[in-house]
Amino acid sequence: MPAFAKEVVKIAFVGPLTGGTSSIGLGGRNSADLAVRLRNADPKAKYTYQLVTQDDECRPNVGVQVATKLASDKSIVAGVTHFCSAVAMGTAPVFARFGMPVIVWGAVLPEITYGNDFKEVHRVNGTMINQSEVAAKFMISQGYKKWAIIHDTTDYGKGHNKYFSEYLKKDGGQILGTFGVTADQQDFTTELTKIRELKPDVIYFGGLTPLGVRIRTQMEKLGIKAQFEGTSGIKSDAYIQGVGEKLAEGSLSFLEGAPWEKLPGGLAFTGQYRLQKYSEPPEAYGPFAYAAANLIMDAVEKVGPDRKKVRDVLNQTKNVETLIGKVTFDDHRQNIVPLVTKYVVEDGKWVIWEDSSYAAGKRKLAGQ
């Protein structure tokens, strides 16, 4: 037994733990929790860490309430925050005002880091700019020429539409029609009937899993055979379960960062995650939440549980090895993510494109 108990340091986790995107939120929470459990099991750790978890419901007003509650509690040193871009945009000024350092683990709207200059707000995942560029170039390299775009009308969907459309036109792609839909819309007969008449090669979807499931399912009902291409917002097991293995086959998604499955810590992460018997998978952004929690705890180990000192250490992050690859924050505390990983659904699983039967030419995407 140690002669003295270690000081307890609280860090927060915030994400959508209920509602349509909860599968991603729960995966993120479990991954941050895993980082804390592993750190607490390390005898060299100077502190005992405690994760304070809050549900932002993917709703900006709820996110702001939660952020205010956490940030005004001085016993919480820092936070691993948000998958939903609109929520992260709403809470950034709150964390800045209270001087609480946070690391965004999943929201991709560029303005979260680049729209302000809040010294407290960092982000480990890349932005939709990186993602859209790769998503456009890749599809054109596959020989596709004509697109219809469906996006949700949140900042997330509108941002993806903007950047993807810009890159697509620059690379010679043609957009036949763009359709904005609300995030809770159930029936897409009107939009999809028009799209069917336009005869696109590809339907690009800018939105999250629940909406993606409804659109992909209704495309089939209306006999639309176009290739389905989504953002990182559909890179979830819940998407495959929602549309079923047969319909999900060949769906594409793009995720910022190196394929963590292939990084040195990837297998260790999945092995440790399994050992903890979490009832939900880590999902696409779990590794980012794990990396964010570790960066915070590393900073606390270095300078103690002091918000300002932890913020200053995080601001200086350069070439730090993490589960998601090297992390370097630029002058807006945005991780410089050099890589975007392409995924395709094959036999009921998201597979890295380069490892798939599609890349090997054994299977073909729609219209090829």
pLDDT tens per residue, range 98-127? 999 999 999 999 999 999 999 999 999 999
Cα(160)–Cα(152) distance, integer angstroms? 9
The beta strands (E) that lie in the chain are given as 8-15, 48-55, 76-81, 102-104, 121-123, 146-152, 174-181, 202-206, 227-230, 252-256, 320-322, 325-327, 340-346, 349-352
Exposed, middle or buried, 111 (CB in 10 Å: 0-12/13-18/19+)?
Answer: middle
CA distances from 224 to 55, 184, 279 (A): 37, 22, 36
Q: Number of C-alpha atoms within 13 angstroms, CB side, residue 339?
A: 14
pLDDT at 258: 79
| pLDDT, tens digit only, all 368 positions of the chain | 555 789 999 999 999 999 999 999 999 999 999 999 999 999 999 999 999 999 999 999 999 999 999 999 999 999 999 999 999 999 999 999 999 999 999 999 999 999 999 999 999 999 999 899 999 999 999 999 999 999 999 999 999 999 999 999 999 999 999 999 999 999 999 999 999 999 999 999 999 999 999 999 999 999 999 999 999 999 999 999 999 999 999 999 999 887 888 877 888 999 999 999 999 999 999 999 999 999 999 999 999 999 999 999 999 999 999 998 899 999 999 999 768 999 999 999 999 999 999 999 999 999 99
Nearest to 297 by CA among 314, 282, 319: 314
Whole-model pTM?
A: 0.93
Pull the structure tokens for residue 1: 């037994």
